[in-house]
């Protein structure tokens, strides 16, 4: 059977599964819509969090990115997993004990201020929209490549599906579809990885094959071979980095704190019954994420080796079929500069004849390794699962911010639960349409926006929440000033160095040599310092807020706190 | 506002609560130091020094940056869960 038929069958089957789950798990109250009723098993929540977290970027782009970055790719690997340690130790248990529905709920109550609540709502919406646009685009790209429909049609199909289960089921529907999506995406990621590991190194476990010997008769370790190939072609050694140490550290830290501060991840910990469940489900989540995140760098090294040995100095007329397939999508381009009919793939841009889009490293990997067609179709279904699960989680945050944090908490406090639920569904519906619009008309700054989402989460939420728990003296003046200044500083730096606004600037002008991707760390520190200084110069928070902080530090009584 | 069913307990058992929180903070500091060491320390700051040591086909610093730190992160969270569950029990603060 050809790739396209396989893709129709596998993608169709997974979509039918998601729709079935959505019909089975309809939400009947706001509590079900916002936090799935608060009774989700920690293991289930761990699976759902892992799918929620791993986006189209993790599934499709990350291994390719690392493949081209070598050692420097570690910023994503450590940044996007280390954040869970912060989440489990510094945030999740306490927010669960606090026991409301959203992150702005916590900020608004802890800082006894609707200004703080509104700042948090705005940050949550900006962060979520910048993130969701990329997911919708990812859905479109996968559809376009594997089912040969226009990208826009792919976006519409994705919108329709997310609309169905997010609007109908809210958090309840999303939780159980995410569990299914995790299973699909991890299976789809691991199968080709295992195949390729066996082919290349003879080891069934990719993480072991990564450090194993290459099966080409040379007896060399794979990474040594790759380093050698890189040096021969004039590239930086694969296992050493090109970025500055400070920048690597700053990006890693910004991604960690951003991960811990992303509202769609935090909100998942409101769905479990007890404080101890919040702790352990962070552990399960990271374990399930780590399966993909420790496999990804192995895939990167395998794919890199495969690519170089397949194309370098080979005759263009003899290239395998996948090469021309992907050439037609424009993601691979070959220009015979010296007219020798061979492919020169080298570091020097004047001599190099091959350009490769990083995204195809995962998508084309099964074809490069000549795996069966069903494996290729499986990768398409996995990419869709990753994009859809993350999109749904983000859309829920947006709809909740509107119906709960703005309408119920500020504009119309007296509406009934049923009306609030209606607002939540309407919010989700509007958010799907807006996200779809961004998917079809991607803003030119998409590359900047993902870094921006993490930078903003690190510069706004992370310090405000951590200090809200660990510093009883922190008051609304300090927290609001910190969030506003941290956010504005982050926006300023991003606009200046990514979009060339405010006079622009080159990498040589970066403050302390820190890239816009890593600047979230600096903005976070500024937020922290501003908050601490201002809070100590203004009145202490009211007695009942201090008592609330005291009570969230001890686990007993979380069940009662669920009541609203 | 939230309900404080444990408020009078806080009053009665203030010392126990203070001890509980102090112990929690001590666990946090220890675990976060390890978190920092394996990622920022072994994976970034001392990566070149560690790269002179080999772990099978890996240079050790590279292994920490792309594999080892992630394994340690998982272990850290489960260790914290175990420590806190034990602390909840001995402080009589565990949930029913």
CB A102, CB A267: distance < 8 Å: yes
- Residue A560: the pLDDT is 43
- Residue A495: the pLDDT is 83
Give the whole-angstrom CA distance, residue A456 versus residue A196: 38
- Min Cα distance A276 → chain B (Å) is 7
CB A366, CB A148: distance < 8 Å: no
Domain boundaries, chain B: 24-90
Q: What band does A197 get if pLDDT is binned at 50, 70 and 90?
A: very high
Residues A518 and A548 in one domain: yes
Q: What are the backbone angles phi and psi of residue A46, rounded to the nearest 5°?
A: -60, -45
Residues A467 and A338 in one domain: no
Contact A276 B24 (CB under 8 A): no
Instruction: Rank A56-65, A176-185, A308-317, B12-21 by mean pLDDT and report only the highest.
Output: A176-185
Residues A244 and A258 in one domain: yes
Q: What is the β-pairing status of strands A354-356 and A332-334? A: antiparallel
Q: What are the backbone angles phi and psi of residue A554, rounded to the nearest 5°?
A: -120, 135
Residue A480 tokens, joined: 């609001």
Residues A176 and A208 in one domain: yes
Give the whole-angstrom CA distance, residue B13 versus residue B7: 10
Give the whole-angstrom CA distance, residue A552 versus residue A93: 9
Scanning A518-547 for CB atoms below 8 A from B yields 544, 547
Q: Residue A257's closest CA among A141, A427, A373, A127?
A: A127
Beta bridge pairs of residue A354: A334
- Min Cα distance A556 → chain B (Å) is 5
Mean pLDDT of A330-347: 86
- Residue A449: the pLDDT is 66
Contacts of A241 in chain B (CB under 8 A): 47
Q: Give the C-alpha distances (Å, rounded to integers) separating B32 from A91, A404, A525, B69, B95.
A: 14, 34, 18, 13, 26
- Min Cα distance A487 → chain B (Å) is 25
Residues A342 and A310 in one domain: no
Mean pLDDT of A413-441: 85
Contact B73 A548 (CB under 8 A): no
Scanning A187-246 for CB atoms below 8 A from B yields 207, 210-213, 221-224, 239-241, 245
- pLDDT, one tens digit per residue, over B60-90 is 999 999 999 999 999 999 999 999 999 998 8
Summary mean pLDDT of chain A: 87
Say what percent of chain B tops pLDDT 70. Answer: 85
- Min Cα distance B3 → chain A (Å) is 6
Mean pLDDT of A547-562: 72
A383: domain CATH number is: 1.20.1730.10
Q: What band does B96 get if pLDDT is binned at 50, 70 and 90?
A: low
- Domains identified in chain A, total number: 2
Contact A211 B56 (CB under 8 A): yes
Q: Which residue of B has its CA nearest to A288?
A: B74
Least confident of A207-211, A517-521, B18-22, B91-95: B91-95
Instruction: Rank A52-56, A248-252, A314-318, A443-447 by mean pLDDT and report only the highest.
Output: A248-252
Mean pLDDT of A440-450: 63
DSSP state of A317: G
Contacts of B84 in chain A (CB under 8 A): 93, 276, 279
- Residue B2: the pLDDT is 44
Q: Is A89 within 8 Å of chain B by CB? A: yes
Mutate to test the interface with B, among A78, A83, A276, A553 (most CBs of B within 10 A): A78
- Residue A564: the pLDDT is 40
- Residue A443: the pLDDT is 63
Residues A418 and A350 in one domain: no
Q: Give the C-alpha distances (Å, rounded to integers) separating A436 from A126, A139, A160, A178, A337.
A: 16, 10, 10, 20, 41
- Residue A340: the pLDDT is 86
Mean pLDDT of A50-73: 88
Compare CB distances from A77 to B1, B5, B70 and report the shortest one's residue. Answer: B70
Compare CB distances from A249 to B2, B44, B74 and report the shortest one's residue. Answer: B44
Contact A211 B76 (CB under 8 A): no
Residues A328 and A392 in one domain: no
Scanning A444-483 for CB atoms below 8 A from B yields none
- Residue A51: the pLDDT is 93
DSSP state of B78: H
- pLDDT, one tens digit per residue, over A252-279 is 999 999 999 888 999 999 989 899 999 9
Residues A333 and A240 in one domain: no
Scanning A105-134 for CB atoms below 8 A from B yields 109
Residues A40 and A60 in one domain: yes
CB A480, CB A546: distance < 8 Å: no
Residues A378 and A353 in one domain: no
Contact B66 A561 (CB under 8 A): no
Task: Inform me whether the pLDDT recorded for B1 exceeds 50.
Answer: no
Mean pLDDT of A325-337: 81
Least confident of A67-71, A311-315, B6-10: B6-10
Residues A176 and A108 in one domain: yes
Contacts of B9 in chain A (CB under 8 A): 556
Residue A141 tokens, joined: 């790209």
Residue A105 tokens, joined: 């709920």
Q: Is A354 within 8 Å of chain B by CB? A: no
Residues A58 and A37 in one domain: yes
Q: What are the backbone angles phi and psi of residue A355, rounded to the nearest 5°?
A: -120, 135
Domain end residue (candidates: A296, A326, A361): A361
Say what percent of chain A tops pLDDT 70. Answer: 97
Its domain, for residue A269, covers 3-314+364-561
């Amino acid at each position: 059977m050809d790739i396209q038929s396989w893709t129709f069958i596998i993608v169709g089957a997974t979509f039918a599964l998601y729709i079935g789950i959505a019909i089975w798990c309809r939400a009947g109250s706001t509590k079900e819509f916002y936090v799935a009723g608060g009774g989700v098993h920690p293991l289930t929540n761990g699976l759902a969090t892992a799918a929620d977290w791993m986006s189209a970027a993790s599934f499709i782009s990350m291994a390719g990115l690392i493949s081209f970055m070598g050692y420097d790719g570690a910023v994503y690997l450590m940044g996007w997993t280390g954040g869970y340690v912060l989440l489990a130790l510094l945030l999740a248990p306490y927010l669960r004990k606090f026991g409301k529905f959203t992150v702005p709920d916590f900020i608004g109550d802890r800082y006894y201020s609707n200004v703080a609540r509104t700042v948090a709502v705005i940050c949550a919406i900006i962060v979520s929209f910048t993130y969701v646009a990329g997911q919708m685009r990812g859905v479109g790209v996968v559809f376009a490549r594997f089912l040969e429909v226009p990208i826009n049609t792919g976006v519409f199909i994705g919108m329709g599906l997310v609309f169905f289960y997010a609007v109908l089921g809210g958090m309840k529907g999303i939780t159980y579809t995410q569990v299914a999506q995790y299973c699909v995406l991890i299976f789809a990621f691991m199968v080709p990885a295992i195949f390729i590991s066996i082919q290349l190194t003879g080891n069934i476990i990719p993480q072991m094959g990564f450090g194993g010997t290459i099966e080409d008769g040379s007896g060399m370790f794979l990474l040594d071979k790759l380093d050698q190939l890189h040096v021969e072609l004039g590239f930086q050694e694969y296992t050493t980095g090109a970025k500055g140490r400070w920048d690597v550290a700053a990006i890693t830290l910004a991604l960690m704190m951003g991960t811990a501060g992303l509202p769609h991840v935090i909100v998942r910990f409101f769905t479990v019954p007890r404080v101890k469940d919040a702790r352990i489900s962070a552990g399960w989540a990271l374990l399930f994420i780590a399966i993909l995140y420790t496999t990804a760098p192995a895939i990167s090294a395998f794919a890199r080796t495969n690519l170089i040995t397949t194309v370098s100095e080979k005759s263009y007329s003899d290239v395998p079929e996948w090469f021309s397939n992907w050439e037609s999508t424009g993601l691979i381009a070959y220009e015979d500069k010296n007219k020798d009919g061979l492919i020169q793939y080298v570091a020097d841009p004047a001599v190099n004849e091959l350009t490769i889009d990083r995204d195809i490293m995962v998508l084309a990997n099964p074809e490069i390794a000549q795996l069966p067609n069903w494996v290729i179709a499986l990768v398409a279904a996995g990419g869709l699962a990753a994009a859809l699960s993350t999109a749904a989680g983000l859309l829920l945050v947006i709809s909740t911010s509107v119906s709960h944090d703005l309408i119920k908490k500020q504009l119309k406090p007296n509406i009934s639960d049923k009306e609030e639920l209606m607002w939540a569904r309407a919010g989700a519906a509007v958010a799907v349409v807006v996200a779809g619009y961004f998917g079809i008309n991607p803003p030119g700054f998409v590359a900047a926006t993902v870094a921006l989402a993490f930078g903003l989460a690190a510069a706004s939420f992370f310090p405000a929440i951590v200090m809200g728990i660990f510093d009883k003296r922190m008051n609304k003046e300090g927290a609001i000033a910190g969030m506003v200044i941290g956010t504005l500083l982050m926006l300023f730096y991003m606009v200046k160095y990514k979009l060339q606004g405010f006079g622009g600037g080159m990498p040589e002008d970066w403050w302390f040599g820190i890239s816009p991707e890593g600047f979230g760390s600096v903005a976070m520190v500024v937020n922290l310092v501003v908050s601490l200084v201002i809070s100590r110069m203004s009145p202490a928070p009211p007695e009942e807020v201090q008592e609330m902080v005291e009570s969230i530090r001890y686990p007993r009584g979380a069940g009662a706190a669920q009541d609203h | 506002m939230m309900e404080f069913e444990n408020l009078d307990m806080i009053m009665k058992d203030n010392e126990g609560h203070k001890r509980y929180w102090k112990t929690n903070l001590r666990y946090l500091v220890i675990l976060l130091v390890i978190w920092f060491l394996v990622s920022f320390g072994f994976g970034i700051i001392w990566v070149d020094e560690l790269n002179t040591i080999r772990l099978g086909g890996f240079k050790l610093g590279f292994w920490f940056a792309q594999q080892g730190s992630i394994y340690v992160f998982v272990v850290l969270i489960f260790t914290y869960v175990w420590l806190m569950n034990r602390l909840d029990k001995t402080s009589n603060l565990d949930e029913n």
